[in-house]
Chains A and B, each alone.
Chain A
Amino acid sequence: MNQTGKEKNPNLKKISGIKMKSIGVLMTCPMHKYLEQQLETHFNLFKLWHCNSSITEFLKTHQGNTIRAVVGDTNIGADAELIASFPNLEIVASYSVGLDKIDLRKCEEKGIRVANTPDVLTDDVADLAIGLILGVLRRICASDEYVRIGKWKDADFGLATKFSGKSVGIVGLGRIGTAIAKRAEAFGCSISYFSRSQKPFANYKFYSNIIDLATSCQILIVACALTEETRHIINREVIDALGPKGILINIGRGAHVDETELVSALLEGRLGGAGLDVYENEPEVPEELLGLGNVVLQPHVGSDTVETSDAMADLVISNLKAHFSNKPLLTPVI
């Protein structure tokens, strides 16, 4: 199938379906078997983890200029080193909506396209946020353990805390933040948020200061992108403002939270509880948290359902195919 029309990048060839099979695509780490299979079917796939996840090692046995596309994720994206190593790199298609592992400035500089997977994972991440709230407040995980080890026979489990009607504060009211708000509303919660700017369409109380947000709510949910400004946005001050009856839910990035401060606040009872899907140094989880009954720990599963993983994979493939067919990207970032 030949394409006509102007080409932005003089290196971009008009590609037929068969010729796509020769395009070198580097997958940075194992993400999803179905995605791997699709990439293998449609492109000439290289797997970085077969070279110990090291670019240097990869370049010992492969020509750098064979790679025209990179598929990265929240573990390994496309940093300056990677971008510099592949002079023919045209597109980074991330198997994620978060872009914190991609050197966007470098991509822009070099005219490299970037695509991600927004929208398809919004529901799952929002569902998990609510699941974490219920897990922490209603002590679902802790009481399951109680039953399994036979303690129910000796004594009744204690009380939990009601979720319905509580005050929820959301950091970042983007797609995911909005989806969380809609769900929390169905539980009769009052919703407020902190964001770079007030959202005119949102019918929730806006706080221009995150401390004020944390002071006003009982459940604080991190749902914003990780940037230089939002690194450690949840610090000791915010945690103290949230207080001993407050709970923190993080479905953003581990680096949003000063993890050391979070751990000490939980151990000292200055924070009531936490539901975490992300950590500063995954898959490492602070050991002190492993024994706590007022936290729920998830292994970065925000979008980890069969349905969504497949949808994300399809979107990655579609973006790559679109790019190499000279068609508009479906979900471009750059």
Chain B
Amino acid sequence: MADQEEEQDNTGDQNHKPQDLPQVLVLKPPPVLSVIGEESFLSNKYQFLKAWESPLPLHQFLTAHAGSIQAILCSGAAPVTDDLLQLLPSVRLVVTASAGTNHIDLEACHRRGISVTNAGNVFSDDGADAAVGLLIDVLRKITASDRYVRQGLWVSEGDYPLGSKLRGKRVGTVGLGGIGLEIAKRLEAFGCNVLYTSRKKKTFLSYPFYSYVCQLSAHSDALIICCALTDQTRHMIDKDVFSALGKEGVIVNVGRGAIVDEKEMVRCLVHGEIAGAGLDVFENEPDVPKELFELDNVVLSPHRAVFTPESFMALCELVVGNLEAFFSNKPLLSPVMDV
């Protein structure tokens, strides 16, 4: 429910606005806000309260505005913890500008009766395109041979080593949500055989389902990680999974770095225990294990799987749409939890 009155305060805080609009706290600007620009997020239904622009220490800032903050716009860089929610008793909605929700204490939100929305399916196409692009690149050695050409080696050394065909490859997706489904649809057109593991089998789909990721890995030539990061999926891709994947197997990760035991993956790559990797995410971004820089069978992407202007515009519309719906008492557009 939207309050119409806003408390006056005497702190001299630059962010104090005299309008009646309900306030949406933004601790740090999510990438989409920085890239698209604040103007695209303007609305007559709410206003942003930008914590990073305040000279006040955060705790003081939050305490000062606690009464008027009814929603939070967050992203990976600005997590929503139970402690934060404790300071903001008027919050009824958390909007994240991402598909992932691992930076939000969902249990705390549920307990406090706070709704959560995420990026829904706006990233599904781009996420899938990135995953497929990385898979083709690893199997066909596109980036490595592009480097080869640029270094003049095609002239001096001759042809580049052969790659590996896509048709007939068994590709196991870890997760078959919005992005996973779009990946599967694309891979079918290349003649790949799609298999998957997921929290629950999708009865409406005919792709072979495996309850355990190790089983999936044993039956796959390539694994694509496209699931959420949760307590259950943290380091799910471990030594056993890599062992089951085998020396000819490749891995693509467009989920979260922490889903994979990165140290183990690097060890497997360096020792040739798996054949290659296409990675958009890492455990400790922007740090990337240096050993990977020496490898030609690895493609590295700086967490850009969904960073296209088209996706960002769609995300902006969705964020605004969710906030406006909330403050108009209308159904949320992309609820993760709707209380």
Residues on A lying within 8 angstroms of B by beta carbon are 123-124, 127-128, 130-132, 134-135, 138-141, 143-148, 152-153, 156-157, 159-165, 182-183, 185-188, 282-285, 290, 296-301, 304-309
Contact = CB atoms under 8 A, between A and B. Distances in A.
B64 interface: no
A55 B132 CA distance: 45
Given A290-B150, A304-B159, A138 B133 contact: yes
B282 to A, nearest CB: 9
Contacts of A283: 154-155
Interface string B32-61: 000100000000000000000000000000
A124 B149 CA distance: 20
A298 B125 contact: no
B301 A299 contact: no
A138 B254 CA distance: 14
Nearest to B136: A131
A156 B308 contact: no
Contact of A160 (B134, B163, B307): B307
A162 B302 contact: no
A297 B146 contact: yes
Contact of A135 (B146, B154, B159, B285): B146
Contacts of B185: 186
B167 A123 contact: yes
A89 B159 CA distance: 29
Contact of B129 (A138, A153, A284): A138
Interface in B112-165: 125-126, 128-130, 132-134, 136-137, 139-143, 145-150, 152, 154-155, 159-160, 162-165
Nearest to A306: B162
B164 A152 contact: no
B186 interface: yes
B293 interface: yes
Interface of B: 31, 35, 125-126, 128-130, 132-134, 136-137, 139-143, 145-150, 152, 154-155, 159-160, 162-167, 185-186, 188-191, 285-288, 293, 299-302, 304, 307-312
Which 7 pairs show the lowest CB-CB distances between chains A and B?
A134-B133, A186-B189, A131-B136, A164-B125, A162-B310, A162-B308, A147-B300
A131 B302 contact: no
Given A131-B142, A164-B125, A140 B155 contact: no
Nearest to A32: B162
Contacts of A296: 142, 146
B299 A140 contact: yes
A157 B288 CA distance: 14
Given A124-B166, A138-B308, 7 more contacts: A141-B142, A143-B301, A157-B302, A161-B308, A298-B149, A299-B160, A306-B165
A183 to B, nearest CB: 5
Given A162-B310, A164-B125, A307-B164, A298 B302 contact: no
A319 B288 CA distance: 50
A134 B165 CA distance: 17
A140 B134 contact: yes
A61 to B, nearest CB: 25
A124 B301 contact: no
Given A146-B302, A182-B189, A123 B165 contact: yes
A123 B165 CA distance: 8
Contact of B140 (A128, A141, A309): A128
Contact of A305 (B130, B164, B191, B288): B164
Given A134-B136, A162-B308, A141 B143 contact: yes
A297 B137 CA distance: 13
B140 A183 contact: no
B37 to A, nearest CB: 13
B145 A298 contact: yes
A12 to B, nearest CB: 35
B133 A305 contact: no
A306 B161 CA distance: 9
A138 B189 contact: no
Contacts of B145: 298-299, 301
Contact of B309 (A140, A159, A185): A159
Given A135-B146, A305-B165, A123 B137 contact: no
B306 to A, nearest CB: 10
Given A147-B300, A165-B125, A186-B186, A123 B166 contact: yes
B307 A304 contact: no
Contact of B126 (A140, A162, A301): A162
B262 to A, nearest CB: 14
A88 B143 CA distance: 45
B284 to A, nearest CB: 11
Contacts of B125: 162, 164-165, 187-188
Nearest to B163: A305
A288 B191 CA distance: 37
A182 B167 CA distance: 13
A279 B87 CA distance: 64
Nearest to B159: A299
B301 A301 contact: no
Contact of B165 (A148, A284, A308): A308
Contacts of A139: 304
Nearest to A183: B189
16 contacts: A123-B167, A124-B165, A127-B165, A130-B136, A134-B133, A138-B129, A138-B308, A144-B300, A157-B302, A183-B189, A282-B154, A290-B150, A290-B152, A298-B149, A299-B160, A305-B165
B288 to A, nearest CB: 6
A138 B150 CA distance: 19
Contact of B163 (A143, A156, A165, A304): A304
Most buried by A among B125, B148, B162, B188: B162
B38 to A, nearest CB: 17
Contacts of B308: 138, 159-162
A298 B145 CA distance: 6
A134 B129 contact: yes
A185 B185 CA distance: 10
A162 B134 CA distance: 15
Given A165-B125, A185-B189, A143 B302 contact: yes
